[in-house]
Amino acid sequence: MDIEAALERFHSLKLTDIMPRLESMPVVTADADLLSVLKVLRTRHHVWVVKDRDSMELVGFIRYIDVIDVLLPPGAHKFKLGITSKTMKSMLGGAARAEDIAERHALTIEENATVLEALVKMRKYRTQVLAVVEGKKLVGEVSLRILIDELLRLLRVGGAQWKP
The tens place of each residue's pLDDT in the chain, 164 residues long, gives 578 888 999 999 999 999 999 999 999 999 999 999 999 999 999 999 999 999 999 999 999 998 998 888 877 755 544 444 554 678 888 889 999 999 999 999 999 999 999 999 999 999 999 999 999 999 999 999 999 999 988 888 766 555 54
| H-run or E-run covering 64 | none
CATH of 3-158, one of 3.10.580.10, 3.20.20.60, 2.40.160.20, 3.40.50.300: 3.10.580.10
CA distances from 114 to 24, 124, 140 (A): 21, 16, 14
Q: How far is Cα 65 from Cα 82, in angstroms, rounded to an integer?
A: 23
pTM across the whole model = 0.86
Count of C-beta atoms within a 10 Å radius of residue 84: 13
**Distance, CA of 112 to chain centre:** 17
Q: How far is Cα 66 from Cα 86, in angstroms, rounded to an integer?
A: 10
